[in-house]
Amino acid sequence: MSKAVYEAAKKQYAKLGVDTEKAIAALKKIPISMHCWQGDDVTGFENAGALTGGIQSTGNYPGKARTPAELMQDLAFSFKLIPGLHRLNLHACYAIFEDGKKVDRDKIEPKHFKPWVEFAKKMKIGLDFNPTFFSHPLADQLTLASEDPKVRNFWIKHGIQCLKIAEYFGKELGTPCGCNFWVPDGYKDDPSDRMGPRKRLKDSYDKIFKYKYNKKYVTVTVESKLYGIGVESYTVGSHEFYMNYAAKNNLLCLLDMGHFHPTELIADKISSLLLFSDKVAFHVSRGVRWDSDHVIRLDDAVKAAAEEIVRNDPKNFIIALDYFDGSINRIAAMVLGMRNMQKALLLALLQPQATLKGLQDARQYTEQLVLQEELKTYPMAAVWDEFCSRCGLPADESWMKDVLDYEKKEFAKRV
Ligand code: RNT
Ligand code: ZN
């Protein structure tokens, strides 16, 4: 696209009172936390076996990263194709045991993540973190909500160790680490006791957060879910559970877009949460039928969430991606999702928010509807093009050629 196309778009937006330069500058400053686990189908480095916990990655696309070195290489390559500076989201199961000295999850320490901190420093990015309460012999249906105190204690220790690791990330990298708690606990069929498991989950969390982590370095988020594969009837950590737990304990709610009723959108929940807490966190994901983790598209759900983020100041949000698809090139899946999230944010940044709000408050609903609809065909692509080219990247699908070249060169070594 030529500069003239951008200049024309700039003029068209200016007529609405939208400054495209401001939109570009704002977009550059919104970090998105890219999840490491799309790179290897949530496998991690413990050789723990199958992925469990009601989540599933299917597909055998070649080239899955098998080692820390391969995953870091793939992540670094992906970041190169994503405009702007972002963050990396790790899971506890990505601990690196040098010299083969493997420890169990209740004993992992900051030192097991040192190579990740070095990687982050080299990439000049911040790190976020997630305890891993699944894919483990002691994660049989219930973890923090287990009837067995030994199992609960094991996972409580894991949670505390993860807070220490998150502190280490925040301190080393000079940017607070978002530490997100999600447990898969639940039942396939209707339980007879709904209260017991929830009481135990609450009690376990109380024990984890007795550890007084340094809030300067760590921001704790808690993630709810409605159902998962094999956990269709009852999830201990429901939305209501976490909304109340977060409010009472001064933690943040994390909304995963795939964790609600299939037609329920999270965009409408954001303002209600934000009125009662400092920030709202997301796992940007896409539910399809019973799966909650398809690669995100630039769809209405993502666009609506981005609008709420922009309208309520992006600084008040923690945006992380969460999906995993093993049936397509995993690097392309990461890059595409990140770019889609950025496009959604740009679309929202290019809306005349004050005008739209004014129309609502003046009850000019017809004008509001017309403007909302006409905006959909405004030349956002020209602004996206300008943003990408200022970041030295293509705005179109030509980045896929680089991915395919990389695939040819690197994936052949991974058989
Ligand atoms: C699962 C949750 C959770 C996981 C990751 C791997 O339904 O969304 O966030 O996807 O922690
Ligand atoms: Zn999630």
Of 256, 259, 290, which is best to mutate to test ligand 1, by the most ligand atoms within 8 angstroms of its C-beta? 256
Judged by DSSP in three states, 329 sits in coil
- For ligand 2, the distance from its centroid to the CA atom of residue 31, given in whole angstroms, is 18
- For ligand 1, the distance from its centroid to the CA atom of residue 285, given in whole angstroms, is 10
Q: Which residues line ligand 1 (CB under 6 A)?
A: 37, 42, 55, 91, 130, 182, 223, 225, 228, 256, 283, 292-293, 322
Size of the chain, expressed as the number of residues it contains: 415
Q: Which residues, given as ranges, of the chain have pLDDT below 70?
A: none
Number of helices and strands in the chain (H, E): 14, 12
Q: How many CB atoms lie within 10 A of CB 191?
A: 14
> Rg of the chain's alpha carbons, rounded to an integer?
22
Active site residue 294: no
pLDDT for the residue 145:
98
- For ligand 2, the distance from its centroid to the CA atom of residue 171, given in whole angstroms, is 25
Q: What is the CA 42 to chain-centroid distance, rounded?
A: 14
- DSSP strand pairing (218-223 vs 186-187): unpaired
pLDDT for the residue 336:
98
- Protein residue closest via CA to atom 4 of ligand 1: 322
pLDDT for the residue 203:
98
pLDDT for the residue 2:
81
Instruction: Pick the catalytic residue from 10, 259, 269, 343.
Output: 259
Residue in 246, 245, 242, 255 with CA at minimum distance from that of residue 317: 255
Token pair, residue 28, equals 């550059």
pLDDT for the residue 45:
95
pLDDT tens-digit map of 103-150: 999 999 999 999 999 999 999 999 999 999 999 999 999 999 999 999
Token pair, residue 321, equals 């991606």
Query: Under 8 Å CB-to-CB from 206, ≥6 apart: which residues?
Result: none
